[in-house]
Structures are given as C-alpha cells and as structure tokens.
Structure 1
Amino acid sequence: MIKHTCFLSAAARIKLSAHLKRGGLLAYPTESCYGLGCLPTHVRALQKLVRIKKRPQHKGMIVIGSSLPQLLPLLKRPSENTAAMLAAEWPAAKTFLLPCRRLPMLLRGRMRDKLAVRVPAHQGARDVCAILDTPLVSTSCNRSGRRPCKTLREAKRQFGRDVWIVGGRIGNQKSPSQIIDGETGKRLR
C-alpha cells in the first residue's frame, strides 16, 4: 500500500479516504521524520495507533492540517489576536496548544482542554491533508523508544502492512516541531 502523494489517482484517493474512515493508519513524510496518523476523531483508530506504537495513553497527540480553517472544527473559536498570530506563524514546524472542543482523551492526553495543532512547513504533509480534505493526527512514525523513521523503507520495515504509507522525502528539520502554548506563548518543547 505504498503510494506517493503527487501520484495518487482519484481512485487511490478514494481508497485511502475509505481506509482512514474505517480506522486505518497512515504514514507520511513531515518536516523531520515520517509521521504516523489517522483521523483525529476516530476513537478506534486512535486506540490502534497507541497500541501499534506502544505509546503511553496519557501523552497527547498533534493534529496537522493544510490550513487553519481545516483545523478550526476541532478548536474553540480563537481570538482575533490568536488567529492573526497563527496566520503569521504558519506554515512552520511550530505546534500550538489551543483550547479545543470536546475530543477523544487519547488525542488530548493530559491536556484536558487543549489540543496541539500545526500547519506543517512540509508541503507534502499539507498536501496529504488537502487531498484528503481532513486534518490528521501526526505522531512520529516509530515504536515507543525507537528512533523515528526517516525513510519510506524504515516506515515499511517497522510497520509493514499495518499502515498505508505515502512515500516522499522528509524535510530538513533536525528536531521535532516546537510546542508553544497558544494562550501564554510559553515554549513547552
């Protein structure tokens, strides 16, 4: 199930969309490594992602989108100042914690009322969200405690047939995205 984003035919896009709606997982290139994701509101997919990564359930996950408007249905309405700040900052390898609507606990983790969101600097990651017309969970593509996958081959080796892999090159970012509290401006990572 390895596909390159720009070469996804209309039929392949429909199949990938159906795969995600059934609770399937997706691996795709991001700024610093391959990301592993699913639909952010699909509880069974979130459970599968946590299980397959062997990730602690208390850790929240990042959700990426092609634009701020794509992320807004998950968030409480941001103030004009916050929306202007996000518009000026994104796309970038900067994740902001923002007040969110009621979402699955596995997605929010310890942050009961906030969600980590980003419009990535990586064009391919934004394209995947735009093509599928949905935001996606974006956690590093690796089993907990292992090094994140940097290539399609590594993603395939770690997760094989368990995920749909969209091929492509990762960006030049050496470390994961910064995480900033969108209300206080405090950098958390």
Structure 2
Amino acid sequence: MAKYFDVHPASPQPRTISTVADSLRSGALIAYPTDSCFALGCRLDNHDGLERIRSIRRLDERHHFTLMCVDFAQLGQFVRLDNNVFRAVKAATPGSYTFILPATKEVPRRLMHPKKKTVGVRIPDHTVTRALLTELGEPLLSSTLLLPGEDEPMTQGWEIKERLDHLLDAVVDSGDCGTEPTTVIDFSSGAAEIVRRGAGDPARFE
C-alpha cells in the first residue's frame, strides 16, 4: 500500500520532504508532481524501481528515461554539452523541457539508449520537486506517469493512490500539476531537434 503525502505547493513541509527522501534512499518508487505533470521516480541505482516503472508503463528498452536534476551543476555531471548546447539548455532551465544528450560515464548503462548512449535530463521549475531533489542530494530517475492506453496523465494524487496503490510505495501530492508533458529536445547530434511539443515553448529551438 502506497503512503500518501499531502505537501504544501509553495512551502513544502521539511519533515515530509525528508521522510520521502529517506524512503527513496530505502528503495521506494514514488509518484510525485512536476512542472508539467505527475511522474514516477526512484534513485538511479534502484534496479527494482526501474523495472517497476517499465512494468507500470509497459516500456521497451528504447525508451528514454529522464534524470530529474536540481540544478545545472548536477545536470552537467551526467551529460556532455558543447558550448552552443550549454548556452541553449541553460537559457531554458529551469522549465518544462527534457533534453536528450550524450551520457557521461556517471550514468548507469541500463539507463542509456542502447544504441545512441544518450539520456534525457531536465531541471524542473516546481517548488516541491526541487525541495525533494535538494534533500535527496542526487537526481531522480524519472518517467511521466502516463498509463498504457491512456492519452493523458492522471492529475490528482488521490486518483493515483487509488489506481496504483499496490504498485507504488508513496504518492506525493501538492495539487493538480496539469496533463501536458514536457517539450522534448534532442541535442545528441549537436543541433536541436524537437521530438515532442509540450508544456515548454518550443519556439526558442526552432
């Protein structure tokens, strides 16, 4: 049964955030809010959590997982950016964008695209997410909480708990965070390719 945490959207309760971070360190898989929609998350070294995300979403090995980072310094540990890409990504973060970039050796091989050796990264513009990432001290392995056969993610924490209670360890709820996923930009070739148009304005990359 998933624990349910009701978190204030503007002033997250430190004790609650600490409890959720501790559960992640202990191997939990959580549903949590972001600046685009709810996501599934666990630690990078959580093999079981990764497989649980794959199972819940029915993902194949070509799916790009996202590393949810708290700031640009953390993001830079896990992906390689040349000067032009660095400037473009930095100007758009924090925000509702996911960037696909060449992974560094800090990224576990199982999280990379099997052929391209790339990984998705993003820095969310969401108070609760950033508080959790700060407390955890490392990125979250993340994937949009979009269930198979459904067109839009769930928007209510109570609904997520009700439907996925037996599949998750915790649900963090700070209110409706929308249904539109991030805009995805692939920089793996050095030039911006818009893979998905979403919550972030894609115009700056066109």
Shared fold, TM over 0.5 = yes
1:155 paired residue number: 160
C-alpha displacement at 1:71, in angstroms?
A: 1.9
1:139 aligns to what SS in structure 2?
Answer: strand
What is the distance in 1 between the residues matched to 2:6 and 2:162? 17
> Residue 2 of structure 1 aligns to which amino acid in structure 2?
Y
1:60–1:106 distance in 2 versus 1, CA, 3 Å: farther
Q: Which has the higher helix share?
A: 1
Deviations 1:39-67 (A, max 9, x none): 12332321122123333333121221111
Secondary structure of the structure 2 residue equivalent to 1:187 = strand
TM-score w.r.t. length of structure 1: 0.84
Runs of 5+ unmatched residues, structure 2: 197-206
1:169 aligns to what?
175
Deviation at 1:15, TM superposition (A): 4.2
- Please state if 1:82 is matched with 2:85: yes
1:90-143 per-position Cα deviation (integer Å, ceiling 9, x unaligned):
111111111112434542235532111111233322222122222112212243
Q: CA deviation at 1:85?
A: 2.0
SS at match of 1:128: helix
Q: Residue 27 of structure 1 contacts residue 141 of structure 1 at CA under 8 Å; is this kept in 2?
A: yes
Q: How many residues align?
A: 185
Aligned to 1:108: 112
Q: 2:96 aligns with which of 93, 98, 104?
A: 93
SS in 2 for 1:74: coil
- Indicate how the Cα distance of structure 1 residues 112 and 158 shifts in structure 2: closer, same or farther if over 3 A, else same: farther
| Aligned equivalent of 2:201 | none
Task: Kindly indicate whether residue 152 of structure 2 is the aligned counterpart of residue 145 of structure 1.
Answer: no
C-alpha contact 2:99 2:185 (8 A) present in aligned 1: yes
- 1:59 corresponding residue in structure 2: 63
The one-character-per-residue Cα deviations of 1:158-181 (angstroms, maximum 9, x if unpaired) are 221523111102435x52111112
Specify the SS of the correspondent of 2:193: coil
Q: Confirm or deny: 8 A CA contact 1:94 1:179 kept in the other structure.
A: yes
Match for 2:86: what amino acid?
A: A
Aligned to 2:134: 130
Residue 169 of structure 1 aligns to a residue whose secondary structure is coil
**Cα 1:14–1:93 shift into 2, 3 Å:** closer
- What does residue 70 of structure 1 align with? 74
Q: Which residue of 2 aligns with 1:186?
A: 193
Paired AA for residue 159 in structure 1:
L
Cα distance in structure 2, aligned partners of 1:127 and 1:104: 24
Aligned mates of 1:145, 1:8 — CA distance in 2: 37
Identity over aligned pairs, percent: 23
Q: Does the 8 Å contact 1:152/1:165 carry over to 2?
A: yes
Q: Aligned partners of 1:170 and 1:56: how far apart in 2?
A: 29
